[in-house]
Amino acid sequence: MEITRSDCSRSRPFTPSASKETESDGTVRSRFRGRGLGRGMVIRLLAVLCGLTVFPAIELVCVIGGWGEVDINDDPFVGFASIHPLFERSADNSQFHTSPARRGFFEEESFSAVKAENEFRIFVFGGSTVQGSPFSIDTSFARFLQLALHEADPSRKWTVVNCGGISYASYRLLPLMSECVRYQPDLYIVCEGHNEFLEDISYTDIRKTPPAVVSVYSVAGQFRSFRILQSFLQTIRQHSAGSAGQYGTSEKSNADELKPVLSAEVDALLDHTGGLEAYQRDDLHAERVVTHFRSNLIRMVELCKQQRLPVLFIQPPSNLSDCPPFKAEFSSESTADTVRRVGDLMDQAAAVLRDDPERSIELLHQATAADPRFAWSWYQLGHALMAVSRYSEARAAFVKARDEDICPLRMTTPLEQTMQQVVLEFGQDFLNAAELLERNCRGGILGDNVLVDHVHPSFRGHQEIALAIADWMLREQLTVPARSNWKETSQQVFSDHLQSLDNLYFLRGRRRLQDLRGWAAGRSEGPPLIRKSVSSGR
């Protein structure tokens, strides 16, 4: 009869050490050595646990001691030839206003040098979307936010400072954010992502590092203990290099000397004649841009944590349905026959789109399968799918067209995912302006009805973003509404504000829009491009 442990337990205690058996040589050993093995396993387990607790303990000590904090002003990827303040005091010292030296990229903005007792100061950072391009800050979401907050709580003084710079990428925002800490901010808002590919950055030193190693360093760099160790090793290397220099060695070991040095202000590729031609498909470079973007977002988070300053990250919208790719190229694997076949399939699809849209979709699927990296075929497929109301598929095709654009002037999916991952990892507040504006679009696909060009929201779009930010501030109890109908009254205030602007304001905006479209199409009349690096773009 088979005896189970439960059966034994009814008659007598189950004791593993009580049962013995005789070996062939006559020696007797315990059949169950669980007690001895258990003690050994416990000792090993305790040793492992002690080892695992060492790192958290060290990390905790670093946090308590304030050691190993991120150096906000030290960009590990790029350096700057010089950094000038964005704001300077007025002649009578009563205000801060935009420095004249920086008005080529920033609009005139000002705020009181002395903060009022009941004043709430918000600084908004980003590129031309924040600035309100192609118009200006008077019709940006920052201005509409100030108006809405006054409607919600008129008892406070609301100051919203627009720090949006034309073509400014995330790496150029860090110095601005560090500077504005001196102006007694109560809230930072960051809306960025469209400008990461605009400048010619080589990332030469990073190209020599395997992607897996870069990823590991990116994760490890979040820990203070790792940053302390890294700083210590770098000091040793610098000391060794200095000692070697005494004997005539000129080799540079300082990591800072390997970083590309950017000009004081933006030098976008498209600002030059031949800038569009300079964009070539470069997947490795695109990966480095995303890594740099993540590093910048983390440094922004660390800056705000050090200052105990709330920050809201905003993902900007992209025009999908009404913005063709700025530059499309076949993949390097495509042969001349493939190129001809894709062209023929697209021509056939366009010819039958009106009378037989399903056949058109079938032909375009064949085209995208022949070369999945040719952005134009994905864009045409998106419109064919919209024609038969297959919106989710159409949106996916438009996103693919955007992501395969050789000249990425719109925030790509990897950049969007990176922002979302960072805010999730670090518990930051987040507003997806793309999803917000999609509610007003056919099939939830962003187009010209909410955006005036490839990225910039319409006046209505800016107003929607402003109201969403104000709503978030109320939920976070950054303010308490004194008026229950503040949203309704805000709409009237927005309308009155637009009416107060003169005709010249809108005329200048329309002219800038024409210029911007020509710039995005590579029709800049700037100086010829002199490449500083091997390649840029995707």
Instruction: State yes or no: pLDDT of 3 exceeds 50.
Output: no
Crossing angle of helices 170-180 and 283-306, rounded to 10°: 10
Confidence of residue 367 (pLDDT cuts 50, 70, 90): very high
Tokens of 238: 């610098």
All residues at 6 or more sequence positions from 409 whose CB lies less than 8 Å from its CB, including other chains: 194, 197, 198, 326, 454, 455, 520
Confidence of residue 207 (pLDDT cuts 50, 70, 90): very low
Instruction: State yes or no: pLDDT of 8 exceeds 60.
Output: no
Among 143-157, 194-208, 278-292, 521-535, the range scoring the smallest mean pLDDT is: 521-535
Q: Calculate the average pLDDT of the chain.
A: 85
What pLDDT is stored for residue 62 in this prediction?
60
All residues at 6 or more sequence positions from 340 whose CB lies less than 8 Å from its CB, including other chains: none
Q: What is the 3-state secondary structure (H, E, C) of 327-345?
A: CCCCCCCCCHHHHHHHHHH
What φ, ψ does residue 532 adopt, rounded to 5°?
-100, -10
Could you tell me which residues are beta bridge partners of residue 124?
162, 189
CA distance 33 to 243: 61
Crossing angle of helices 486-500 and 141-152, rounded to 10°: 130
Which residue in 320, 366, 326 sits closest to 346, CA to CA? 366
What pLDDT is stored for residue 14 in this prediction?
39
Query: What's the burial of 182, exposed, middle or buried (CB within 10 Å: 0-12/13-18/19+)?
Result: exposed
Mean pLDDT of 176-192: 98
Q: Give 227-259 pLDDT, tens digit per residue.
A: 566 555 545 644 554 544 443 333 443 445 568
Q: Give 61-77 pLDDT, tens digit per residue.
A: 665 665 555 555 688 89
Q: What are the strands, taking DSSP E only, across 336-467? A: 429-432
What pLDDT is stored for residue 27 in this prediction?
43
Among 20-29, 292-301, 310-319, the range scoring the smallest mean pLDDT is: 20-29
What pLDDT is stored for residue 180 in this prediction?
98
Q: Give 327-354 pLDDT, tens digit per residue.
A: 999 999 999 999 999 999 999 999 999 9
Which residue ranges form the domains of the chain, and what is each CATH number? Answer: 5-65 (no CATH), 69-88+114-203+260-327+421-538 (3.40.50.1110), 336-403 (1.25.40.10)
Confidence of residue 216 (pLDDT cuts 50, 70, 90): low
What pLDDT is stored for residue 237 in this prediction?
47
DSSP 126-157: ESHHHHTTTS-GGGSHHHHHHHHHHHH-TTSE
Among 361-375, 384-398, 472-486, the range scoring the smallest mean pLDDT is: 472-486
Confidence of residue 526 (pLDDT cuts 50, 70, 90): confident
Between residues 523 and 531, which one has the greater pLDDT? Answer: 523
Q: Give 72-105 pLDDT, tens digit per residue.
A: 568 889 999 999 999 999 999 999 999 999 999 9
Between residues 219 and 258, which one has the greater pLDDT? Answer: 258
All residues at 6 or more sequence positions from 373 whose CB lies less than 8 Å from its CB, including other chains: 281, 329, 330, 331, 404
**Percent of the chain residues past pLDDT 70, beyond the cut:** 75
Mean pLDDT of 475-484: 88
CA distance 500 to 507: 14
Between residues 396 and 70, which one has the greater pLDDT? Answer: 396
What pLDDT is stored for residue 203 in this prediction?
82
Q: Give 37-46 pLDDT, tens digit per residue.
A: 466 676 676 6
Tell how far CA 378 is from the center of its chain: 24
Mean pLDDT of 16-31: 43
